[in-house]
Amino acid sequence: MAQQTIIQLLDDLDGSEASETIVFGLDGRTYEIDLNEKNVAKLRKALAPYVDKGRKLSQTRGGKRASAGRVAPDGDTASIRAWAKENGYEVNDRGRVPAEIKEAYAKAKVA
């Protein structure tokens, strides 16, 4: 006896037939939602300014994400190094930026 299983995606917002499943993340959590073409367009339009300004992450082993480029929590290390050199601090071109330089940079940016 033959059997056929049909899976129909329904839009999670309005119950109409969905055209695709969208995967997105926020606050360290990953979500997926089934949407029709109209709602996909609305979601992409709403997220566009944030996607445009956000940093893209790359996938690593174990499902954890890693930054595509190394960025210090309080700013771009290249900017910190440049600022430090301009302000008389000795800083290496590579490696960890000393905490006291990061602190001075953060204080200068606030002022």
Instruction: Summarize pLDDT for 55-87 with one digit per residue, the tens.
Output: 887 765 455 544 444 444 555 888 898 989 999
The predicted structure's pLDDT at residue 99: 87
pLDDT mean across residues, the chain: 83
For residue 81, give the CATH number of its domain.
4.10.320.10
H helices of 2-86, in order, are: 37-53, 77-86
Establish how many alpha carbons lie within 13 A of residue 54's alpha carbon, considering only the half-sphere containing its beta carbon. 11
Measured at the alpha carbon of residue 46, what is the angle toward residues 41 and 73, in degrees to the nearest 5?
130
**What global pTM score does this model have?**
0.50
For residue 40, give the CATH number of its domain.
3.30.60.230
What is the C-alpha R_g of the chain? 23
Instruction: Calculate helix-pair angle for 77-86, 99-110, nearest 10 degrees.
Output: 80
Q: CA 47 to CA 32: how far, in whole Å?
A: 15
Is residue 4 a part of any domain in this protein? no
Tens of pLDDT, residue by residue over 9-47, are 999 999 999 999 999 888 889 999 999 999 999 999 999
Range of the domain at 99: 77-110
Tens of pLDDT, residue by residue over 87-101, are 999 888 888 888 888
Is residue 95 a part of any domain in this protein? yes
The predicted structure's pLDDT at residue 68: 43
